[in-house]
Chain A
Amino acid sequence: MPEWKETVRAPEEEAEGPVVQAQSKSKAFFKKFMQRRTAVAAAVFLLILLIITVVGPELAPYDPSAPDYDNLLSGPSPAHVLGTDEYGRDVLSRLMAGSRLTLGVSLSSVIIGAAIGTFLGVLAGYYGGILETLVMRGSDVLFAFPDILLAIAIVAMIGPGIINVVIAVAVFTVPSFARIMRSATLSVKESLYVEVARSIGCKNGRILSMYIFPGTMQAMIVNFTMRVGTAILAAASLSFLGFGANVTEPDWGAMLSSGRNYIGVASHLVYFPGLLIFLTVLAFNLLGDGLRDTLDPKIK
């Protein structure tokens, strides 16, 4: 970045000022965040889950797709802590392997949706005019399809499959980011430091990337965390309805969907995948709540 060099030439105290402030700011944030015990517990849970997702297959006691015909639909036992499924596959190993697919689908769809939504929302808030009207009315239209129905409609159109679920959940994520980022941009735009930047003749591109976007990061982080929870639920719902991952693949929603046939016979096939989805979504929501309360109590 060539512009960055210009700021380096500033006197030393001034150059150091913001850095020190940022450090104490993040320290203050950390201190405040640590006081919220539920959010910290959620963060620890998600961290463990992340580690399992990355190194999962190595830790798993069994090959997640290896059948064991002596142990079909058996309940939790010392050998299979969470029991086995209809092909005798180890449920714990499948859940551990499934975190890659489940979290991968949800995170990638939220990242795509957040990127598009943020881009549109920030531009709409900053430039206003026709662009703003288009983006906001577009969001309204997408919001006219209630809840998960938009994702279902998209899958109905482009057909089932993992990639299509990612697309559907991403589209379903865009309008919420567009709206939130637009209003965050509007409030940052009014702030004094943006006025100052404009008065010293900064170009729009620079104001957007150096001032507006960083100013909206808090709203962005909070919404991102919350939406991951929503995306996991949406993706699991699509899987459950049979529109997502192939049932032979280890995906939490798909496991729940096939386990449903054995309800009453092998209820652990229903309990464990669902419980894991529930706890993961709960952790994202608690973390989001904690971040919102520490970062900016004004965002709802």
Chain B
Amino acid sequence: MGRYFVKRVLGTIPMMFVVSILIFLFLHMIPGDPARQMAGKEATEQELVQIRQELGLNDPLPNQYINYMDDLFHGDLGTSYKTGLPVSEMLLGRLKPTIQLMFSAMIWSVLLGIAIGVLSAVKRGKVADYVGMFLAISGISIPGFWLGLVLIQIFSVNLGLLPTGGLDSWQSYILPSLTLGCGIMAVLARFSRSSMLETMREDYVRTARAKGQREWLVVLRHAFRNSLVQVVTVAGLQIGGLLAGSVLVETVFSIPGMGRLLVDSIAFRDYKVIQAELLFFSLEYIVINLIVDLLYGVLNPKIRYQ
């Protein structure tokens, strides 16, 4: 078990390295002169020189990368061209709403998605199954931002029940959280249904029935417990994608979070901020995937006892 953990943790290092190089190269892959892009057409040559200096574009490439990584380990993500503030400070200020939103969406959508999937599998071919699967395929097909707008129209504009945006009270979390979690709920419902249908056919489920176990315990303890190993993997991938989903949801609901900052920075060509955001999003994704991998080991005795 310990060996599995160490192996997995070490296994992410090359990935992080490659991702860090890609994100470092982001500045260099911008067509044309990034300094010119940032400063605009009216910028003087002197301004451009200064921006290049700030972006560190003057050194040889390997040195630039080493400097970039060195700064990174010291928590220095550079300075925003637009606000003049340290990027790290800007990100920290935006972290809380995004994380809160992410967790609020994660909890309901994972639980509900798995519940719908399991129920659909148990009631295969019955009305509950059709309703569940219709909900699920709608959930993966609906544009998240549109769902958000429709929810605003109905619950805020027409009914006046919930705020249209911001994150001032607990009520203001409801609509963004529904919007953000909808897709995960749908994917998990579909996946856990097919996974459950597979495990329900296993010999050990028949054994559990043959020993006289109650049907709901046959489903939960024997079938679901074994499905869970696969469901967790998919859930992890989906949760990792939540942060990216926040880009759209925060725009729709005017929430001052990380996603919104990314959109604004792209509009202003604030490259240092974009770079930092991309780094954060992809590191988060890698870390969540790692956690899922480790969880997979915990849930699956075959891996645990290798």
Contacts and interface: CB of A to CB of B under 8 A. Distances in A.
Direct contact of A and B (CB under 8 A): yes
Interface of A: 137, 140-141, 144-149, 152-153, 155-159, 229, 233, 236-237, 240-243, 256, 260, 263-264, 267, 270-271, 273-275, 277-278, 281-282, 284-286, 289, 300
Q: What is the interface residue range for chain B against chain A?
A: 35 or more
A241 B248 contact: yes
Contacts of B140: 285
A281 B251 CA distance: 22
Contact of B248 (A237, A267, A284): A237
A278 B285 contact: no
Given A144-B285, A146-B241, A149-B247, A278 B18 contact: no
A146 B285 contact: yes
Contact of B31 (A144, A158, A285): A158
10 contacts: A144-B19, A144-B282, A158-B30, A237-B144, A241-B263, A242-B263, A256-B145, A267-B153, A278-B138, A282-B137
Given A147-B245, A149-B247, A149-B281, A263 B137 contact: no
B44 interface: no
A199 B194 CA distance: 39
B29 A141 contact: no
B15 interface: yes
A278 B247 contact: no
B244 A267 contact: no
Helix, strand, loop or mixed for chain A's interface?
Answer: helix
Given A146-B240, A147-B244, A140 B15 contact: yes
B266 A155 contact: yes
Given A148-B247, A300-B194, A263 B274 contact: no
Interface of B: 15, 18-19, 22, 26, 29-31, 137-138, 140-146, 149-150, 152-153, 157, 194, 240-241, 243-245, 247-248, 251-252, 262-263, 265-267, 274, 278, 281-282, 285-286
Instruction: Name, among A157, A256, A277, A278, the residue most crowded by chain B CB atoms within 10 Å (CB to CB).
Output: A157
A281 B141 contact: yes
B282 A264 contact: no
A152 B282 CA distance: 13
Given A156-B265, A256-B146, 20 more contacts: A141-B19, A141-B22, A144-B15, A145-B285, A146-B281, A148-B244, A155-B266, A156-B266, A158-B31, A229-B141, A240-B143, A241-B247, A271-B150, A274-B146, A277-B143, A278-B141, A281-B143, A282-B142, A284-B141, A285-B137
Contacts of A233: 141, 143
Contacts of A159: 31
B203 to A, nearest CB: 20
